[in-house]
A and B are shown apart, each in its own frame.
Chain A
Amino acid sequence: MPATFAQKAIARAAGLEAVEVGQVVDVRPDRVLSHDNTAPISQTYAKFGQDFIPNPDRLVITLDHAAPPPTPAHAKNHTDIRKFVAHHGIEHFFEVGRGICHQVHSEEALILPGQMILGSDSHTPHFGWLGAFGAGIGRSEVAALWATEELWLRVPETVQITLTGHLSPYVTAKDVSLHLIGSVGADGALYQAVEFTGAGLRSLSIDSRMVLPNMMAEFGAKSAFLPPDELVFNYLAPRLARRTGMSITAAQAAVRENVLQPDAGATYSAHYEINLSAIEPLIAVPHQVDNVKPISEINNVKVDQAVIGTCTNGRLEDLAAAANIVRGKRINPSTRFIIVPASSEVMQDATNLGYVADLINAGAIFGPPGCGPCMGNHLGVLGPEEVCISSANRNFRGRMGEPSAFVYLGSPEVVAASALTGQITDPREVMA
């Protein structure tokens, strides 16, 4: 039977020849992800009465959500995690300032095409950009995985999305994601996996590709997949070689070793075709991600704060686009322009390439690499009835602070243009 990527990846992780949609199987993921929530997970783990962790090499832990810590309680949370990491000899641990877990594990080539990563973070489908199976799970499930190395998964149906054409200037993968979520709904892929395909995909950079599976969390998807190609292998191989010390030749082989591609003739529960050439800049209006409107319909929305960052849009390409828009100009004095790079590598590269200087000269404020204000912990939370335009992934009521605040979502280009004018602005207008 022709199989989808999700079927093949779950079969591999379950040690089975093949699996059927709807089947519930026990899988053994290659990596188990956690972040600032590692402290409560370790408390759950302690209840199992097993003082060692089998194969601690599976664990990948990053301090990113409230980092550096804004309060003593958050600081203790990190202290508890460091003790746990030292006690169990966790090798793949990333300190405050290294960046957001999904970005860091990608940069470190800690997960490879065809492998499976499960994590207590809802944006774990992110790793589909490189052809891996990523899915979010709960904290207790991570504790159980640490202990028993296996967890039940239901084999999902798959939604297929074909991309054709090319993106227009100042239109991005974020707009493509918002188009899909807005037109189908936030539960468009509920309990299902998503597979992207089509010639349009090949035209997207690595940074742009990362946006698509990341945003599929807001589409209800369990996991999302992009077929890996040479661009992906050539991103991962030198990074794998750097981290492990293996030769580049060995790394080039290793990144291709477990590649899984869906079979022609596999069964899909739904199919959508998106012509990239026809997409316009879009905005998700408060307080739902599927409340999507063309930017031309958003008039006179004044913004108190503009944020570029997060696992969705805090990468080098995003900072480059923002720098290009604000270079030589000054932002609106009544708008705070906050930029939080997704990783220390992004920050370093953006500094070397002059983007950081361009942005600071225009009036931007830089936060340390990490999740930033995305989920209301620190570094730019919103006050009563404040309005924010953000390159993040969620605009839920109260997400960034006060429940009376308003969060609009758009591309980094839209955020940068809006910082300049002080109201939500089409980047094509300021660049005309």
Chain B
Amino acid sequence: MATKASRSAARLMMAPAVILLLGWMLVPLTMTLWFSFRKYLPLRGGDLGWAGFDNYTRFVTSSAFWPSVMATLTVVGGVLIITVCLGVLLAILLDQPMWGQGVVRILVIAPFFVMPTVSALVWKNMFMDPTNGLFAHLFKFFGAEPIAWLSQASMPSIIMIVSWQWLPFATLILLTAIQSLDSEQLEASEIDGAPPLKRFWFIILPHLGRAITVVILIQTIFLLSIFAEIFVTTGGAFGTKTLTYLIFQRVLESQNIGLGSAGGVYAIILANIVAIFLMRIVGKNLDN
């Protein structure tokens, strides 16, 4: 697009998409901001006028606020660590030539296509059920006492379920990155006297740096808003109430739209803080 005419034509043609996306973002954002300053109780009188910063102070001073922020960060952090570490290992494994490679790769990617609600229910009922679950049977087989996963180890359970869903994504991106590694670099390092572990550390891992960055960025955005997995398993109990879930409870269970909206604004701020940090740490990785 070199000429002036083609540039303005391009702007004109992009305009509908830009306007649509902008509206899509701006309308809910403005409405959230609007409601967050209103005292709005749908079942108890509806819109009851301005509330000032009441909703904001009530939301943060609630005893559920800080635990929910911590729960959110724990889930995001835990899932990121598990998916990136296992993703790198799985990518290396899948990169090896082996029999039935195509089928294995499809199987590895499959969990990503299962809806969050469905996969959480499958985990809850088929694996983690304390009497009939596979894990319970496994524990009993080895003579151990089955644990009630979702109440006794609720946070690890949630992290496990979400990691299972996101591992394929990480693996897929890391696999394509590993495949783009020039094999001559590995051979050169082999001749240079680097044993396999050092080849991984000095050659493969730095090569994957950018892909790991992308995985972390994209996953963080989606993990900050996980909801279905918590809704169908613990229902926010046993310390698994994330910020998203807290907002949901405020709006629907307490029927307080104003308070929930204020929470939504906090969530936006939290997401942006996390994003800025990530961009700082990770942005360096993306240039060069």
Chain B associates with chain A: no
